[in-house]
Amino acid sequence: MGFSIELIQHQQFNLNFWDIGGQTSLRSFWFNYFDKTDFLVWVIDASCLFRLQESFQEFGKVLKEDRLTGCGLLVFVNKIELFKGNQKELVEQIVDLLGLNEVRNHAWNVVCCSAYTGAGLEEGLDWITEEYSKKYYIL
């Protein structure tokens, strides 16, 4: 809820995360924070899958922002410990609904995670640092 800024050290990187919240009252502020963005992390709540359509409509609006062209897209499917179905099928459904296979000007990944247990978070951070290294030729 709300807004926070976090610095996370991962591998040899200092990653600045700006959590600007997803509630309706904060969405008008999102576009104030897109300058110099290298990665967009979109979080989907696996315990509220009935809200997927709303999330995808908002996601589509964000992807049209010119300042985000070329930035990486990481979709975290959070609270996966509460999801009782097949995770692989869920990821495929999300990829289809978001139209990620048609996205050409962004590297993207979908990772199931749990902010509660920490599962999947390392995988997502690894993907971000690997993509950043490829983009900027850091070996």
Antiparallel, parallel or unpaired: β 72-78 and 39-45: parallel
Q: Which of 9, 12, 23, 57 is catalytic?
A: 23
Task: Kindly report each contact of residues 124-131 with a partner whose C-beta sits within 8 Å and lies 24 or more positions away, as own/partner.
Answer: 124/41, 124/74, 124/76, 125/8, 125/10, 125/15, 126/10, 126/11, 127/74, 128/10, 128/15, 128/39, 128/41, 128/72, 128/74, 129/10, 129/11, 129/13, 129/15, 131/39, 131/72, 131/107
Q: Where are the domains of the chain?
A: 4-136
Q: Which pLDDT does position 92 carry in this prediction?
A: 93
Examine the pLDDT at 72 and tell me if it is beyond 60: yes
Catalytic-residue membership of 23 = yes
pLDDT of residue 127: 97
Contact 50, 86 (CB under 8 A): no
Range of 21-25, 32-36, 37-41 with top mean pLDDT: 37-41
Q: 4-136 adopts what CATH topology?
A: Rossmann fold (3.40.50)
Predicted TM-score of the model (pTM): 0.85
Residue with tokens 């951070």: 125
Reported as a pLDDT band with limits 50, 70 and 90, residue 69 is confident
The predicted pLDDT at position 58 comes to 74
DSSP 48-116: GGGGHHHHHHHHHHHHT-GGGTT-EEEEEEE-GGG--S-HHHHHHHHHHHHTGGG--SS-EEEEE--TT
Cβ contact 33:68 at 8 Å: no
Which percentage of the chain shows pLDDT scores above 70? 86
9-23, 44-58, 111-125 — most confident range: 111-125
